[in-house]
Amino acid sequence: MGDPGIRDRTRGLVSAFDTANVWPSGSAPSPSSPPVTRHLISIDDLSLAEIRGLFALADQFSDDPSGFSDTCRGMISASLFYEPSTRTRLSFESAMLRLGGGVLTAAEMNASSAAKGESLADTVRVVGGGYADVIVLRHPSEGAARLAQEYSPVPVINAGDGAHEHPTQTLCDLYNLHVERGKLEGLDVVLAGDLKYSRTVHSFAYALARFGANIVCVPQPGFEMPDYVLKKLRDELNVEPVRADAARLGQLADRSDAIYLTPQKPHQLSLFTDTKGWQVESVDAVYMTRPQTERYQQDDGSIENYQTLGKQSMAAESLRDAVVMHPLPRRDEISSEIDEDPRSIYFKQDARGVPIRMALLSVLMGRMPLEGMVTEAAVPEPNSWPVGTGDNPCPNPSCVSRTEPRHVVPRFSLPSRAPMRAQCAYCSRELAFRFVGCSTTRRYHRPDSNALRQVRPDHLVFLDDEAQADSMQYIPAHH
């Protein structure tokens, strides 16, 4: 289990704040407390109450799309897209225009000053320094939005950072389930297809777990949910993964080793001994994903015979009442023959992205109040620390700490102190090390040593082996 204090500080109402001039409509700033800038970098930056509040605002915008055209008049949104996008970019721009604001579009950032070598940090400082009141960023490097947050004087919205997260798509997906099912708690949701590289799946899984939904992972063989995602679900969100008996899913799961992830049934699962796996009786939604070929590595498997949803695969009894979702664009993983099936909601799902993004933009720019939203700056406890010495320990070549080394000091966070686990503060990848040193005592310990609980995080040094410890003049703790 992760340290509860660390887990609480990394969720919701602390880590994504900075100081700026953004106030919810109708609130008055305290003379002694500056207002705060809210960013949306991860779905964890929103509390569950805030997400429900955004749903309520989205309902208002959906009921009267043209009735709020003065809400953000005089304000400007900048779309900085370093990767191609149609739906996400147009959805945000439509949302801003419906709110009465203006839009600056840089949809081909590789043809901008970035092609001349301008860093992401400098770009967001310039754009946020006078051009726009909010930045919507899509970038191929994982952790890029968190880096942008550090340099931007205006709110940053993560519209997708590599294979890491896509929190606004997650808001849209959650909102659709809320509309279609009337609740999120206790739902059974199948995640199918490329679960390895789909950032929408990763963000969606975290959010579903927080709401108490159950997840059935049915991956394309070779593209299973990454270990770092499963570790976060287990250690930070108390989700128990067990093998699933997905026979009742029929053709949908006939080639996959399904996994059942539940925050709801830890007691039953502790008594569970059926070697076939937890039986999946019925599901409320099937969330299909396309192969994310733009992120594939040379050693990834083939995508031949990729999973396909069609009339036959949706004929299973357990799927009778399941809505079919997809973040779009699709390739061949959903057959057009089920477009008219009343269970297929992926085009409705996309359209509902506009009102939920209207809600998000209006709140982050301080033009609509959101119940329970923090409006006064506090002094947050740090939840990440610079790597003290040595090379960048992040193993992810796509991490922004590696692709933007001029402006990024590698940082780490601690999802667990016993045993010691550390991950990159930008892309969330687990750091690999055999020993942990203390820069004050010059002694090193094994990760499961209780003594490490007494070491300040900014004094931790991660060591590959005894040889590295010796070369840095650290000695074993038992000497």
- Give the number of other Cβ atoms within 10 Å of residue 396's Cβ: 23
Residue 116 annotated as catalytic? yes
Give me the catalytic one of 87, 125, 243, 446: 87
SS3 content of the chain, % helix, strand, coil (to 5): 35, 20, 45
Give me the catalytic one of 116, 267, 406, 478: 116
Residue 87 annotated as catalytic? yes
Amino acid (one-letter) located at 312: Q
Nearest alpha-carbon partner for 282 in 250, 311, 313, 317: 317
Contact 322, 343 (CB under 8 A): yes
DSSP 144: H
Residue with tokens 């209207």: 358
| DSSP line for 46-66 | S-HHHHHHHHHHHHHHHH-TT
Q: Is 473 left (phi over 0), alpha (psi -120 to 50) or beta?
A: left
Give me the catalytic one of 7, 138, 210, 421: 138
Residue 139 annotated as catalytic? no
209 sits in which H/E element: helix 199-210
Residue 331 annotated as catalytic? no
- Give the number of other Cβ atoms within 10 Å of residue 347's Cβ: 11
- Separation between Cα atoms, residue 260 and residue 242, nearest integer Å: 5
In a 10 Å sphere around its CB, with 0-12 CB exposed, 13-18 middle and 19+ buried, how is residue 307 labelled? buried
- Separation between Cα atoms, residue 465 and residue 417, nearest integer Å: 20
Give me the catalytic one of 37, 71, 88, 375: 88
- Separation between Cα atoms, residue 284 and residue 366, nearest integer Å: 35
- Separation between Cα atoms, residue 359 and residue 460, nearest integer Å: 41
- Tell me whether strands 76-81 and 17-19 are parallel, antiparallel or unpaired: unpaired
Angle of helix 48-63 relative to helix 353-364, nearest 10 degrees, comes to 120
Q: Is 235 left (phi over 0), alpha (psi -120 to 50) or beta?
A: alpha
Instruction: List phi, psi (to 5°) of 247.
Output: -60, -35
Alpha helices by DSSP H, 320-399 = 346-351, 353-364
Give me the catalytic one of 146, 166, 417, 421: 166
- Separation between Cα atoms, residue 401 and residue 389, nearest integer Å: 15
Residue 138 annotated as catalytic? yes
Active site residues: 87-88, 116, 138, 166
